[in-house]
Amino acid sequence: MPRKIDNTEYAVYRGDEFRFIGTAEECADRLGCSVNSFKFYLTPSYQRRLAKRKRPKNYIVVVRLDDDEE
């Protein structure tokens, strides 16, 4: 079964500092992790973990970039 190609782009930040934009595969490669690990950064569970930390400025934050241009 062919694998579905996901061209969704994501913006990656370390704290408030912008790092780069790319697909899930590109971002995972640049971060040195698997695609599944990268996608974990998008989950509500990870967001709750960040909210509990006292100094989340050095942690990875991923934002999905949607095409809302209609």
What's the confidence (pLDDT) of residue 70? 44
Q: What is the pTM of this model?
A: 0.80
Name the token pair of 27: 């971002």
List pLDDT tens digits, range 7-61: 899 999 998 899 999 999 999 999 999 999 999 999 999 999 888 887 767 889 9
Q: How many residues does the chain have?
A: 70
Return the SS3 of 4.
coil
